[in-house]
Structure 1
Amino acid sequence: MSNWKGLWLDPRAKLFLIVMCVLSSMIAPSLTYQLVLVLLIAVLGVLCGKWKYSVKAVCFYSVICMLTVWIMAVMTGTLRTMFVAFLGLFHKVYACGMLAGIVLSTTKVSEFLSAMNRIHAPKKFVIPFAVMLRYIPTIREDWHFIKDAMRMRDVSPSLGGFLCHPGLTVECIYVPLLMMASKAADELTIASVTRGIENPGPRTCLVQVKCGIADFAVMLAAVVFFVFELCVRGGVTG
């Protein structure tokens, strides 16, 4: 039985991919290029072992794309302008958020710190980002605990539950979540400092952190797609 768990990428390559994704999403000439960008990110997610996440993300985005096309074809007037403006912002952000989810779920804090130490990144950037890598999974776990506890009181965190019982939903779900989020941030910060995150000396890591063929391949693919979008956008503008 194979022990392969997915493609491993250097944290520096992942940061480069996020930057290129933001740029590619900003200059995307049309909705088609946004969809292609999401599909490319999904392929990367599958290669990194996040195939369930990638499939769900692509299916959801496909529904949003069909909804966008339908609104542009059917609606008119102010309502159409309002929905198109909102969905336009959604399309610009979705690919970046999808890639960020893959990066956060596949990057260990120790690997990230070792990679940032190699490029001599400033501590003001490294420390908050490292805490965030551990913060988001902790909040997700707390969110599941709160939902399980509130089901015993017939309180649902869904939109329907919020519309039916807004006061009870905020009191029983969102207030505890905010309190736990604040507490988790303090605890993670203290734990990071205790483990020597501010130590100026070189860090060690069990995993050898270096850019390999796979890293250069995905970075090259990101640059090629970005340049292709620039050429298409320039041709359309011209």
Structure 2
Amino acid sequence: MSGKRHKKGLWLDPRAKRFLILMCVLSSMFAPSLAYQFFLVMLIAILGAFFGKWKYVIKAVCFYAVICALTVWIMAEMTGTLRTMFIAFLGLFHKVYACGILAGIVLTTTKVNEFLSAMNRVHAPKKLVIPMAVMLRYIPTIQEDWRYIKDAMRMRDVSPSLAGFLAHPGMTVECIYVPLLMAASKAADDLSVASVTRGIENPNPRTCLVQIKCGAADWGVMAVAVAYLIFELCVRGGVIS
């Protein structure tokens, strides 16, 4: 069965999103310099804006700009062991940040039924598909529980911030992190049972109300991702100076 999509903003096939994550990992790995990392983050931010995630990408870009400025300052001003320590940490941070932003966009814009139908089209193994499908519902559920716990603890003057943890570590762990761990464990059990109840292990082909197919937008976005990766490889190889 097929149907129309009523969501605002861009819609991409889940298979195209998986391909974008792969290209993002490779592009971040082979980025010749910090400027190329920043440009990669900007490309992901533009993609997120098309998805309607304006607040998310604006915060992500602003935070990354601060980190880039800090990195440049450390490389120019610091020396010795302290500089080496910070550069090693920030180097790892720069490599994973773009991938983290894209993963957040994919998680918040992909429905479980669309993901399962797309994976069924490519005949992906159930051992891989089922854990990823549960993860798509698990992370938003934990985020929702985290917001509820923070709101409830603010009424008791318990802050989830770093300053609150340093001021009252025992109270913060008891009132925030322990309930969060208990909610996380309960959510994992509930989602597993719900998935089995809804027939996630059914070997028959799945149906979906949304048409799962790669359109012009999918091919266009994937082409841009491949082109940027090729451009980075050419820069690293000295083909483009």
Q: Shorter-chain TM-score: what band?
A: over 0.9
Structure 2 letter corresponding to 1:230 = L
Match for residue 95 of structure 1 among 89, 95, 98: 98
Structure 1 residues 59-208: aligned runs within 5 Å: 59-208=62-211
**1:145/1:4 Cα in 2 relative to 1: closer, same or farther (>3 Å)?**
closer
Structure 1 letter corresponding to 2:113 = S
CA offsets per residue over residues 3-26 of structure 1, 9 Å max, x none? 871100000000000011001101
Structure 1 residues 20-31: aligned runs within 5 Å: 20-31=23-34
Alignment length (residue pairs):
235
Q: How far is the alpha carbon of 1:187 from its aligned partner?
A: 0.4
In structure 2, what is the equivalent of residue 224 of structure 1? Answer: 227
- The answer to which structure, 1 or 2, has the higher relative contact order (CA under 8 A, 6+ apart) is 2
Moved over 2 A (4+): none
In structure 2, what is the equivalent of residue 55 of structure 1? Answer: 58
Q: TM-score, normalised by structure 1?
A: 0.96
SS in 2 for 1:197: coil
Identity %: 80
In structure 2, C-alpha distance between the alignment counterparts of 1:4 and 1:160, rounded to whole Å? 40
Structure 2 letter corresponding to 1:211 = C
CA offsets per residue over residues 46-98 of structure 1, 9 Å max, x none? 11111111111111100110011111111111111111111111100100000
Q: Which sections of structure 2, spanning at least 5 residues, go unmatched?
A: 1-5
CA offsets per residue over residues 170-197 of structure 1, 9 Å max, x none? 1111111011101101100110000000
In structure 1, C-alpha distance between the alignment counterparts of 2:190 and 2:216, rounded to whole Å? 38
1:19 and 2:22 correspond: yes
Q: Which sections of structure 1, spanning at least 5 residues, go unmatched?
A: none
In structure 2, C-alpha distance between the alignment counterparts of 1:85 and 1:157, rounded to whole Å? 28
